[in-house]
Structure 1
Amino acid sequence: MGLEATLLRTWRSRGALAWLLWPLSLLYGLLGGLRNLLYRLNWLHTGRVPVPVIVVGNVVAGGSGKTPVVMALVRHWQARGIAVGVISRGYGRSSTDCREVLPDSLPAEVGDEPALVRRSCQVPVFVARQRLEAAQALLARYPQTQLIVCDDGLQHRALHRDLEICIFDDRGVGNGFLLPAGPLREAWPRPVDLVLHSGAQPAFAGFRARRALADYAVQADGTRRPLATLRNTPLRAVAAIAQPESFFSMLRAAGLELEATEALPDHYDFDSWSRTEHLRQTVICTEKDAVKLWHHQPDALAVPLRVELEPGFLAALDQRVDPWLSSPPARTSALT
């Protein structure tokens, strides 16, 4: 955590350490540019699938709220009766094969975010190291799928994409340097179809995605508990996400008093986590953490994060996507 915290501070401005790392960022950019050239020359192959692929990604290292946006997009298309599937690399998973994420899949084997999408949205989700393989497997198993959403993968050129959505949070582009001197995975600006800001203070032009906690918490069995009933409950908030303090702040803004907070590394597996003190406190966490934490702490409460996409963004999105849907959309049924 010390090195990570140091880099995050360094990436905010062009200080001494950033300039010291700047020559390495030039090498990083050169290698990335060479790779992109090989794709343009068709020396490296980009594969296609017979349905539109929408990539939701970012150019800044670290979490920027991609998965909640993916879930919001899936729900938008579900409401329109469009059959949607989701693919992902499954960051941090122990398996290396291509597989479907099932209701009983262990997050350690498929990744915490794919497990969350499958549990929350009830759509087909496949993970693979090569996203093209995941897309092909999804269509083979669910041929009625009309759209595929790729969670992350803006820099994954091996899969052809029909539309790119780039997500930014309040960090913007940081100090504007490429890794490791700055937070950028690739130079910005670069062509994308839509820019979406998930933070409260957008650094430049783009659409807005407003984030807010649900007014209820979810138990492991799916039972909902209104947050208002927790206002006099001793709470211990746990978060293993990119920006845990934002979750803690939203809980407090909802009127909850947190006796303790525990920030853990993003994608933390909770296998070594133990609650040896403050046993009287109720553990409260994010949905992403809950899919792992419930195996160790079944009485933990998870508060869903809801993303509201502004109407202008949805209109611009549908204007691009609808022409690709050549046949009337079929109503998506819940998976079992």
Structure 2
Amino acid sequence: MSNHPRLESWVHSVWSHRGPVACLLYPLSLIYQAVSASRRRRTVANHLPVPVVVVGNIYVGGTGKTPVTIALVRALRARGWTPGVISRGFGRSEDGVRLVTPDSDASQVGDEPLLIARESLAPVAVGRERVKAGLELLREHPGVNIIISDDGLQHAALARDVELAVIGARGLGNGWLLPAGPLREPVSRLDDVDAIILNTTTESVVESRTPRFAASSCFGACRRLSTGEVRDIDTIAADLERTGGKALAAAGIAAPGRFFAMVRGHDIDCAELELGDHFDFSSNPFRGRKEDVILITGKDAVKCAQIPEIKGDDRIWVVGLEVVLDPYLIDLIDTRASEAARRLGRHPEAQNDSIE
């Protein structure tokens, strides 16, 4: 949301309950709902020539969609699909369509699409107009037979075959729409999606008839930013204990508390640095820090790696995050995408048969 974590934290605290500030803003939420509904009714949905799976949320800000998208790319690839990903690319310096490569500049394509491109190795395109981004991706990568739209739940101009709503650690807040609450759409919107993904360790209360699936997360390999050296998190923890070293966990993501808790769960007693979502690292928040080890997220690493002063800091380790999706969720997506693909003649099996 911003580079001001204290303000961001205060806003989310207001949105967590129906207190005086939220109640004061509630009339504006009614206006927001009316305008949004009118705009959606007037928008014509455009189809891409391949099945489209939308991964999004109704809570403004991060819910962990990007790791879920990466996991979904891998899971669908294992089922025989050739996925591509489209995204708006939050924080970009332009709105036009651009293809993303692992070497792209984060300021031009966005930190999350760049992370997806690097971690999933799938073709990725960004653009404010998702349909144009999808068409450009398919033009450059004609072998792609399914597209995942990252953060596209509210992008009504893009027709979709499967909708997935991700709910993170903050749940649904006070259940009100912006600006009195954190929601972009009413809670009832969850009744229309194909599946809800609970990307949180806490029990989220979601009143919906839509099937719910849990996403589990754990740390993967840790990579030293400066050299590429790989260690696991427990080895780093053991080295800190043996040497008496100090650690810092830093995160420029939404809801960083989960990242900090996971670090502490590996017996690392660390200081915490909450930077705010989509933080601009050009100011180098690590300059002057005295800790021996600095742990950062993969999302932040794509920007840090493009700043020489930060990339050369031997203390910085990028903590990999692995998300595991419920196999029954993948079955559901595979089935519905396959039905759409057969109508379009783009199912992997159909393509393989035509080649033979």
Superposition TM-score, scaled by structure 1 size:
0.91
Q: Matches of 2:339 and 2:229 in 1, distance apart? A: 40
Q: Matches of 1:163 and 1:11 in 2, distance apart? A: 29
* TM-superposed deviation, 1:248: 1.0
* TM-superposed deviation, 1:274: 4.0
1:313 to 316, 329, 337: 329
Per the alignment, residue 178 of structure 1 pairs with 177
Higher deviation after alignment, 318-327 or 75-84: 318-327
Per the alignment, residue 334 of structure 1 pairs with none
Higher deviation after alignment, 77-86 or 64-73: 77-86
Superposition TM-score, scaled by structure 2 size:
0.87
Q: Matches of 1:309 and 1:236 in 2, distance apart? A: 29
Higher deviation after alignment, 144-153 or 318-327: 318-327
Q: CA RMSD in A?
A: 1.7
Runs of 4+ in 1 over 4 A off after TM superposition: none
Per the alignment, residue 4 of structure 1 pairs with 8
Per the alignment, residue 243 of structure 2 pairs with none
| Secondary structure of residue in 1 paired with 2:86 | strand
Structure 2 residue 193 is the aligned partner of structure 1 residue 192? yes
Q: Matches of 1:27 and 1:325 in 2, distance apart? A: 39
The percentage of counterpart residues that share the same residue type is 40
* Counterpart residue type for residue 324 of structure 2: E
2:36 to 18, 29, 32: 32
Per the alignment, residue 348 of structure 2 pairs with 328
* TM-superposed deviation, 1:172: 2.3
Per the alignment, residue 261 of structure 2 pairs with 249
* TM-superposed deviation, 1:315: 2.0
Deviations 1:49-102 (A, max 9, x none): 100111000001110011111001000012223111000000001133211111
1:272 to 255, 271, 283: 283
| Secondary structure of residue in 2 paired with 1:34 | helix
Is the contact between residue 25 and residue 179 of structure 1 (CA under 8 Å) also seen in structure 2?
yes
What residue ranges of structure 1 are gaps of 5+ in the alignment?
Answer: 40-44, 332-336
| Secondary structure of residue in 2 paired with 1:170 | coil
* TM-superposed deviation, 1:46: 2.0
Give the structure with the larger helix fraction: 2
Is the contact between residue 248 and residue 291 of structure 2 (CA under 8 Å) also seen in structure 1?
no
* TM-superposed deviation, 1:137: 0.3
* Counterpart residue type for residue 261 of structure 1: E
Cα distance 1:274–1:207, how it changes in 2: closer, same or farther (>3 A)? Answer: closer
What are the equivalent positions in structure 2 for 1:84-233 lying under 5 Å apart? 84-190=83-189, 191-200=192-201, 201-204=203-206, 206-214=212-220, 216-220=221-225, 222-231=228-237, 232-233=239-240
Q: Matches of 2:89 and 2:261 in 1, distance apart? A: 28
| Secondary structure of residue in 2 paired with 1:189 | helix
Per the alignment, residue 298 of structure 2 pairs with 287
* TM-superposed deviation, 1:122: 0.7
| Secondary structure of residue in 2 paired with 1:49 | coil
* TM-superposed deviation, 1:150: 0.4
| Secondary structure of residue in 1 paired with 2:281 | coil
* Counterpart residue type for residue 328 of structure 1: P
* Counterpart residue type for residue 335 of structure 2: Q
Q: Matches of 1:103 and 1:230 in 2, distance apart? A: 27
State the aligned residue count.
324
* Counterpart residue type for residue 211 of structure 1: S
